[in-house]
């Protein structure tokens, strides 16, 4: 035996994976997994979008050789993504100040940005929302940063503690890296209003903070355009800007790992220097990204009828989630009239901080085979017309 491994400690299990394992082992046919982070359709299945099927049919027909992609990814993909994220008619795109590199999902984009930032601003600290997607902290820590949290969720109002958030932005050191959820905050579902974003952008810009927008759910909030507004507004405010985006959810392409890191620079010349250094980070990590998912997304985005189909299918997912939010609230009103769940309708994206306590989540699991995260986070996209009544009855019984 080697001393190399003998002293290794067992790492803690991923909490969300643990939920899925327990769910899989559960024999109750009425079991429901609300702990997941993926979109399910009304039949409880992960959809394969029609636009993806059609793009794949086009790609298969070509029987193209599987060469390496460029370090920064497929050019057609990077261009289409940049137009989607910043806007084709935006100053940053038109003036060629934007840098886009295909990345291995949104996670890969965040890690790429984090590794790159560590080279540019090694002494800066990172600030994430409290709470945030559970991987944000680990990801930036693994890039060597100290990670702090700014106030975000207010359990009392079930909304954003905006005064606390703004105060944190106004007191953190210049050069701090601030991670913001562009839309559909994970895990809470609580987003900022346009007016609150105005104040955040003002604070970030005037205090010389480095904004890093994570956009993993574009199109799941109020629509592709509306959800992208925050990115556009930050880009217009000027200054360095990092944006990670993902198509895992919006194209239902989870396992293909399609995302991108987008950076706004102040001139075309600066952008080309940024890209040259970003390529070194990529080259020493994984050399160049995988090809298939990027080809699919580029084909859909650049083919008008497929693009329209995608927008319609994405709208279908968004609307179905909203219907589930409405049904959740109205059904609970009947079953548990003493409680007010109206905030669930205000929340955006796939998730809801339901307000259920850890004990209530435990009872749902043990008595009803309904699985949720201990924090009370439920995936609204895992509800459907068949399971919602059972879920509501169970929730009403543990309140």
Interface residues with ligand PLP (CB under 6 A) are: 37, 105-107, 133, 181, 186, 214, 216, 246, 248, 259
- Residue number, 55 or 243, with CB nearest to ligand PLP: 243
Query: How far is Cα 213 from Cα 181, in angstroms, rounded to an integer?
Result: 6
* Annotated active-site residue in 31, 111, 118, 133: 133
Q: How far is the CB of 61 from ligand PLP (least distance, A)?
A: 28
Q: Which is nearer to ligand PLP, 38 or 91 (CB)?
A: 38
What secondary structure letter does DSSP report for 177? Answer: E
Tell me which of 31, 214, 310, 331 is the catalytic residue: 214
Q: Least distance (Å) from ligand PLP to the CB of residue 270? A: 27
Q: How far apart are CA 345 and CA 146, in angstroms?
A: 35
**3-class secondary-structure state, position 395:** helix
In the complex, minimum distance from the CB of residue 1 to ligand PLP, in angstroms, rounded to a whole number: 36
Based on the residue annotation, tell me whether 127 is a catalytic residue of this protein. Answer: no
Minimum CB separation of residue 206 from ligand PLP in Å reads 26
Enumerate residues 6+ apart whose C-beta is below 8 A from 186: 37, 132, 133, 216, 217, 349, 350, 351
Name the DSSP letter for residue 178. E
Q: How far is the CB of 350 from ligand PLP (least distance, A)?
A: 8
> CA-to-CA distance for 275 and 288, rounded, in angstroms?
14
Nearest residue (CB) to ligand PLP, 112 versus 332:
112
Please say whether the beta carbons of 223 and 235 come within 8 A.
Answer: no
3-class secondary-structure state, position 81: helix
The burial of 40, by beta-carbon neighbours within 10 Å (0-12 exposed, 13-18 middle, 19 or more buried), is given as buried
CA distance 92 to 99: 9
User: Is 214 an active-site residue?
Assistant: yes
Among the listed residues 31, 54, 118, 249, the single catalytic one is 249
Paired residues of 214 in beta bridges: 181, 244
- 90 versus 250: smaller Cβ distance to ligand PLP: 250
- Confirm whether 133 is a catalytic residue: yes
> Strand, helix or coil at 102?
strand
C-beta of 216 vs 392, nearer to ligand PLP: 216
**Residues annotated as part of the active site:** 133, 214, 249
């Amino acid at each position: 035996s080697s001393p190399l491994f003998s002293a290794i400690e067992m790492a803690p299990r991923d909490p969300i994976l643990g939920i899925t394992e327990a769910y899989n082992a559960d024999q109750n046919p009425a079991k429901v997994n609300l702990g997941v982070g993926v979109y399910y359709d009304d039949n409880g299945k992960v959809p394969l979008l029609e636009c993806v099927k059609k793009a794949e049919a086009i790609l298969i027909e070509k029987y193209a050789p599987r060469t390496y992609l460029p370090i920064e990814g497929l050019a057609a993909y990077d261009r289409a993504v940049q137009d989607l994220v910043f806007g084709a008619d935006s100053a940053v795109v038109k003036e060629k100040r934007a840098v886009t590199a295909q990345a291995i999902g949104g996670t890969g984009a965040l890690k790429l940005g984090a590794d790159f930032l560590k080279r540019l601003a090694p002494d800066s600290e990172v600030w994430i929302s409290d709470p945030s997607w559970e991987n944000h902290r680990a990801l930036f820590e693994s890039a060597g940063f100290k990670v702090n949290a700014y106030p975000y969720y207010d359990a009392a109002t079930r909304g954003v503690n905006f005064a606390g958030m703004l105060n944190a932005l106004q007191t953190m050191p210049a050069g701090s890296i601030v991670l913001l959820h562009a839309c559909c905050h994970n895990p809470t579902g609580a987003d900022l209003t346009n007016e609150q974003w105005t104040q955040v952008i003002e604070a970030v810009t005037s205090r010389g903070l480095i904004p890093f927008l994570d956009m993993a759910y574009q199109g799941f909030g109020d629509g592709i355009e509306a959800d992208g507004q925050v990115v556009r507004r930050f880009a217009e405010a000027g200054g360095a800007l990092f944006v990670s985006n993902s198509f895992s959810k919006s194209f239902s392409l989870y396992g293909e790992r399609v995302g991108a890191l987008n950076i706004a620079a102040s001139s075309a010349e600066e952008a080309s220097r940024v890209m040259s250094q970003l390529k070194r980070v990529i080259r020493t990590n994984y050399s160049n990204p995988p090809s298939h998912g990027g080809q699919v997304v580029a084909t859909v985005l650049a083919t008008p009828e497929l693009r329209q189909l995608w927008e319609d299918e994405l709208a279908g997912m968004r609307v179905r989630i909203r219907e589930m939010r409405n049904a959740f609230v109205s059904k609970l009103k009947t079953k548990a009239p003493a409680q007010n769940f109206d905030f669930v309708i205000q929340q955006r994206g796939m998730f809801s901080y339901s307000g259920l306590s850890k004990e209530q989540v435990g009872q749902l699991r043990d008595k009803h085979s309904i699985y949720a995260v201990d924090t009370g986070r439920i995936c609204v996209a895992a509800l459907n017309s068949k399971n919602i009544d059972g879920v509501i009855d169970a929730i009403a019984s543990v309140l």
